[in-house]
Structure formats: structure tokens, C-alpha cells
Chain A
Amino acid sequence: MKKKGRQEKLLQGNEAIVEGALRAGCRFFAGYPITPATEIAELLSVRLPQVDGTFIQMEDEIASLAAVIGASLAGVKSMTATSGPGFSLMQENLGFAVIAEVPCVIVDAMRGGPSTGLPTLPSQSDIMQARWGTHGDHPIIALCPSTIRECYDLTIKAFNFSEKYRNPVIILVDEVVAHMREKIVLSDEEDIEIFNRVKPTVPPEWYIPYEDTPQGVPAMANFGEGYRYHVTGLTHDIRGFPTSRPDEIDPFIRRLFRKISQNFSDIQIGEFFQTENADITIIAYGCIARSAKRAVIDARERGVKVGLLTLNTIWPFMRAQVEKVLQTSRVIIVPEMNMGQISREVKRVNKGAAKVFTLNKVDGTIITPQEILARIKEVS
């Protein structure tokens, strides 16, 4: 039976991200063409004007994120999309979005690096750049889809988190997921939670724009709504004005971290697959989680007890979930298309109960189920 507003589509990851963004309420996109993220810009240049939104192609990626932040301050949910080289240029204003607490979403379709690297080939090597790319101590949220449905759902989540926690959210999608196509069912009637920024309810003269709250997230007034306040990239006091007082700097920086750290249970999304009695657990993300799932099923058929923990939230690192499998499994394998960016985190939280093995591939091709199976055989 065909329901009203129900659509079955064969979508590319980048296209599903666009659908998710529009569903989340995104009405502004500023970007600069780059492979393998360009489809997002192309599609939004068609779709955004249709819904009275705005698409603008800026002169570079620095300007793109700047415009996105400006639009968000004016009250419109905004995003940009790029790949490694452009993501490098965005680090400057990414830090601005963090310190000024401006909601925005940045898609990084990961290709091989460093520098121009491998424009058309997949990689997962921007994991640490997403975490530490911009200077200074700062919290970050980064999500990583491994299916087309997750591209849609996690993009909506990305907007929700950015609005809820007033922090930029990065979608780390590898080139494989960005460009592969899968069936997806979208429905207008589907009950999807959409979160919009909390606005001040007090009169303008009482408004304290960077006030500490139990949630750690101050209410946000949009420009033009009568709450005239100062937004700055300088470290500021609760009124938004620059400060160099130690007793104001410290609580500010700590609040930025607290607003994320006290909400791990909301932000951290992952999936345990047959990990309960697993002797060996694979920790994977992005397209490699798909290979890993195949490997788990195949291994189980051969009688080897293997499980999989898929990380959909890359940052903040899913320590509690990883610790769980570190305690229940004898061996952990972390296959990833980089030199070991997540395995480094897994090893960091490992207290010695399990042995952590890596499986790194940096030749521009994905890690196959066979390669994971071979690694399982090797280490077990």
C-alpha cells in the first residue's frame, strides 16, 4: 500500500544528506566546489530556492563557513559541504563557531590526503582533523554514516545537535558512502524529532547571551529580534564582551566542554552487533563497518565468535561503549582507511583486558570483508 508522502528512492549518500538537511530545516548553504562533496552543493542549488532558502557559491571554503555562521546568527539553519583540502581551510572559522557557540553543520566527504592527495578515492583520514583541526581547547561533535539511511538520519541529528548544544557538528562521510547508492524510503509523515535552538524568553534588557545554565547551553537570540548583543571570537564573559579575567575565562572554557560531556548519552550513537558472546570484536565506522558486518556474519558461519561495534558518533569518542567490548572480548580489531586514528583512541582507553589489533589501508581502496577475515585468522 502506498502511503501519502511515502517515497522509495535510490539515493547516493550525498543526496541523502541533502534530503536529511532539508528535512531538518536547513535553508542556507554556502560552499565551494570540491570532489567528492560537490553533489551536495549542486543539489542544494536546485532545492534550496524552491523552499525560499538560499544557496550561494562563495569564493573559497573560508568564506563558505563564514557565510554559514553569519546566516545561522541571523536565524537560519545553515550548512556547508567540503572535502579534506577545503576542510583544512574551514578550520579557522570552525573555531569561531565553537567559541561563539553558533549552530552549523559541516559535511566533510573524506578523500585521501595529505594535501590534494586522492581527489576521487576514499579515505577515513580526517578523523583527527575533525577533532583537533582548529586551534585551542574545544569540544566537537562528529558523526559518521555507513549506510544511505544513516546519511539521512545522521544529518538530521547533526542539525539537532548543533541547535541543541550550540556547537558546530561535522558529518564525516567517506567517499564510498558519499557516492554509493542504496534504496531509501522517505516519508513526510514519519515521526522525526526536529530540534530548534532555544530562544530567550526574558525581555532584552535581562538577556545574558552567554549565561551559564544547568544544561550549559545559553538561550540564543537571532540578530534582528531585539536582543542586541555582541558576538566575538575573543574569549568573552557571560555578556559576550571580551575578557582576560582568569575567573571568567576558566568557567567559560569549562562550560563549552561541559555542555557536550554531560550529554554523551544523547550524542553518542552506535550499534552493537553480536558482541554479547564475541571472542573477537571489530570496531569500525563508515563504509568499513559494512565490510566488517559481512566479515562477522561469515566468521560466525565458520564458528568463530566475532562481533561488531559500529561507531556512528566519532567525536566525542564513545569511550563507554568501547570499554564495554574491551572488557567482554579477548581481541579487538580496528580496521580503518588511515594509519590508525581510531585505533589510537581505542588503545588509549584500553586498560589491558583485551589485545587491540589494527588493520590499516591507505592505498585508496576499501578494506574488504576478506581482508578483515584474514586479519581475524591472523590474530586469533
Chain B
Amino acid sequence: MVEVTKLIHKYLRHDKKFPHVWCPGCGIGIMLGALVRAIDRVGYSKDEIVMVSGIGCTGRLPVYVDFNTLHTTHGRALAFGTGVKLANPNLKVIVVMGDGDAVAIGGNHFIHAARRNIDITAIILNNSVYGMTGGQFSPTTPYGMKTTTTVYSNVEQAFKISELAVTAGAVFVARGTVYHAKLLDGLMEKAFLKVGFSVVEVISHCHTQFGRLNRMGSAVEMMQWQREHAVTVEKARQMKEKELQDKFKIGVLVDRELPVYQDEYEKVRKWSQGVVKK
């Protein structure tokens, strides 16, 4: 408890911005906790971190943390972050987004940031719904679920955010849940330390909207669902495909080396200045 208080005092704008806007029981708070613990473990100074977000419940996160914080337009956080990082590569750019932010309106920016392999960490809270606007379906809402704009049933297929990131070229992709908070700390720490585009998908719940409409119960019950449906990457290797059908993998999905944008662009600078011949 003392440890938690210390972190709150060190990293949150506790005297300025609280109470926060999130519903009691929301998973975003757990994700924020993991973020702060991981940052503390990595040892970044508060001045070198730029935390960027878009719009929605998750988009509100940066206002509560004592870093350089940038709350941008819907879906564009990664594009803003790209500018910040390239203008001052010494800054550590962490972009937090929701599922709508990252793969609906910002889907194009997401795949291109991954393709460029720019040195940014993207933390994506996936709660399968647009929470702030009242529970409309998102690109990660599973088929057959009810939302306020799919009252009969969702007939669209869901995006798998982590798999999308892998295909688009991210060098580090991990998935966690807000139930597995300790695992989440470690995944975020690894993502921060990775040079290149790293993604941590955080499976969370929106009991206020998604849970209520689909009779999934309280926040606690929805977190139990996470516990029952998440399988670690290690354990999944021992399981048959049929057993994995209604499960999702958590842990490090990809950790690989690819050329990083800033390093490549530094080569362009040297060629243009005639220092190094192409």
C-alpha cells in the first residue's frame, strides 16, 4: 500500500485532476496502474515521456499523469506521436488508445506506424465497445453481440488487434488482460524497452455498456470471464486447436528485429549530406 501511494504521488496529477471520469470498476484504472509501475521499473524520467492519446474513455488517461501529455483528435494519436518522436528522438513516446481509436478511425495510422517501425509504444485498451458515447459496436465487438447500434445482433466480424499489428510489421506485440495485472506490468516494461514499434493489447471490460447489454454481469464477473478465456502463450503451445477455439492468447506474441525508422532516416541524412555514399 505504501508502495502504491508512493507511485500515485510520483506519477499522477493527484492534486489537480481527480476524481477521474471512469466508471467504478472500469479496467482503465488497472491499465493505468500497470503503466505507471512499468514506467517506474524502466526508470524513465517524467520529463522525457510524452504520453499521447486520442478520443474516448481511454483517451482521457493522459490528463491524469504527470508527463508531457497530448490528448489529440479521434484516431490520430499515433500520427501526432510520430511527429513528436521524429522532431525529438530523445523523447519516449507512449500512445494509449481504445479499440475504436486504434483500429476503427485510426486503423490506417495504426498499420502505417507499425509498417514504418517507428520507435513508439502503443498501448491499446480493447473493451470491444465505444464506451464514452454509450455502447455502440466497435471493430472488435465479437460477432453476435448486442450493442446500442446492433440491438438485434452484431453481424460484423471482429478485428484481432494483436494479429493485425504482427502482420503490419510491429517488432513487439503482446496481449494481456486487466485481470492478469502482474503479467501486464511485465509486458509493458518489455514493450517500453523494445526499440521499434511495440504494441500491448489490453483486454478489458465495459460492464456499464457492453456487459449490461449482453448480460455479462458486473465488472468482477467480466474479469472472471477474462481469467477463464485467456491462455498464456506457453500453455497454448501444449493445447489442441479445438481447445483454443473460444480462448485468446496472452503474453508476448512476437518479439523480432526489423530496421527502425529513425535509424534508417539517419542514413538518409548522411547520404544527403554526402557524409556517406549511397
- Interface residues, chain A, CB within 8 Å of chain B? 27-28, 30, 46, 49-50, 52, 54, 56, 58-60, 62-64, 66-76, 78, 92-93, 96, 222-226, 228-234, 239, 241-242
In angstroms, how far is the closest chain B Cβ from the Cβ of A201?
18
Complex contact A96–B88 (CB within 8 A): no
Q: Given contacts A66-B83, A239-B16, is CB(A223)–CB(B72) below 8 Å?
A: no
B241 interface residue (CB < 8 Å to A): no
Complex contact A49–B272 (CB within 8 A): yes
Q: Could you say which of A71, A229, A232 contacts B83, with CB atoms under 8 Å apart?
A: A71
State the main secondary structure of chain B at its contact with A: helix
Q: Could you say which of B16, B50, B68, B272 contacts A241, with CB atoms under 8 Å apart?
A: B16
Q: Give the CA-CA distance A226 to B48 in the complex, in Å.
A: 8
B190 interface residue (CB < 8 Å to A): no
A-B pairs with beta carbons under 8 Å apart, 7 shown:
A63-B109, A73-B70, A96-B73, A224-B48, A225-B47, A226-B47, A228-B47
Q: Give the CA-CA distance A75 to B85 in the complex, in Å.
A: 11
Complex contact A73–B84 (CB within 8 A): yes
In angstroms, how far is the closest chain A Cβ from the Cβ of B194?
21
B255 interface residue (CB < 8 Å to A): no
Q: Give the CA-CA distance A109 to B14 in the complex, in Å.
A: 47
Closest to B55 in A: A233
Q: Given contacts A70-B70, A231-B69, is CB(A30)–CB(B91) below 8 Å?
A: no
In angstroms, how far is the closest chain B Cβ from the Cβ of A24?
16
Inter-chain contacts of B265 with A (CB < 8 A): 49, 54, 56
Complex contact A75–B71 (CB within 8 A): no
Inter-chain contacts of B86 with A (CB < 8 A): 28, 54, 56, 67, 71
Inter-chain contacts of A72 with B (CB < 8 A): 83, 87
Q: Could you say which of B50, B62, B73, B269 contacts A92, with CB atoms under 8 Å apart?
A: B73
Q: Give the CA-CA distance A224 to B50 in the complex, in Å.
A: 8
Inter-chain contacts of A66 with B (CB < 8 A): 72-73, 76, 79-80, 82-83, 109
Complex contact A228–B83 (CB within 8 A): no
B46 interface residue (CB < 8 Å to A): yes
In angstroms, how far is the closest chain A Cβ from the Cβ of B232?
34
Q: Give the CA-CA distance A56 to B115 in the complex, in Å.
A: 14
Q: Given contacts A49-B272, A93-B73, is CB(A78)–CB(B67) below 8 Å?
A: no
Complex contact B76–A224 (CB within 8 A): no
Q: Given contacts A28-B83, A56-B82, A223-B88, is CB(A232)–CB(B71) below 8 Å?
A: yes
Complex contact B50–A223 (CB within 8 A): yes
Query: Number of contacts between A and B (CB, 8 Å)?
Result: 136
| Seed contacts A59-B109, A229-B68; 10 additional CB < 8 Å A-B pairs | A49-B265, A49-B271, A58-B79, A63-B82, A66-B72, A70-B83, A223-B91, A224-B90, A228-B46, A233-B73
Complex contact A233–B48 (CB within 8 A): no
Inter-chain contacts of A52 with B (CB < 8 A): 269
Complex contact B88–A67 (CB within 8 A): no
Q: Given contacts A50-B273, A52-B269, A58-B79, is CB(A230)–CB(B88) below 8 Å?
A: no
Closest to B47 in A: A226
B17 interface residue (CB < 8 Å to A): yes
Complex contact B88–A74 (CB within 8 A): yes
In angstroms, how far is the closest chain B Cβ from the Cβ of A327?
44
Closest to A59 in B: B112
Q: Give the CA-CA distance A49 to B76 in the complex, in Å.
A: 25
In angstroms, how far is the closest chain B Cβ from the Cβ of A225?
8
Complex contact A62–B76 (CB within 8 A): yes
B98 interface residue (CB < 8 Å to A): no
Inter-chain contacts of B87 with A (CB < 8 A): 27-28, 54, 70-72, 74-76, 78
B81 interface residue (CB < 8 Å to A): yes
Inter-chain contacts of A75 with B (CB < 8 A): 87-88
Q: Could you say which of B62, B68, B108 contacts A59, with CB atoms under 8 Å apart?
A: B108
Complex contact B71–A230 (CB within 8 A): yes
Indicate with 1 or 0, residue by residue over B95-125, a CB within 8 angstroms of chain A CB atoms. Answer: 0000000000000110010000000000000
B66 interface residue (CB < 8 Å to A): yes
Inter-chain contacts of B67 with A (CB < 8 A): 228
- The interface centre, meaning the residue of B16, B50, B79 with most chain A CB atoms within 10 A of its CB, is B79
Please name the 3 residue pairs, one residue from A and one from B, whose CB atoms are nearest each other, closest first. Answer: A70-B83, A67-B83, A66-B79
Q: Give the CA-CA distance A72 to B50 in the complex, in Å.
A: 13
In angstroms, how far is the closest chain B Cβ from the Cβ of A20?
20
Q: Given contacts A75-B87, A231-B71, is CB(A67)–CB(B80) below 8 Å?
A: yes
B23 interface residue (CB < 8 Å to A): no
Complex contact B63–A228 (CB within 8 A): no
In angstroms, how far is the closest chain A Cβ from the Cβ of B262?
9
Q: Give the CA-CA distance A93 to B209 in the complex, in Å.
A: 30
Closest to A76 in B: B87
Q: Could you say which of B79, B83, B272 contacts A50, with CB atoms under 8 Å apart?
A: B272
Complex contact A233–B68 (CB within 8 A): no
Inter-chain contacts of B81 with A (CB < 8 A): 70
Complex contact A223–B83 (CB within 8 A): no
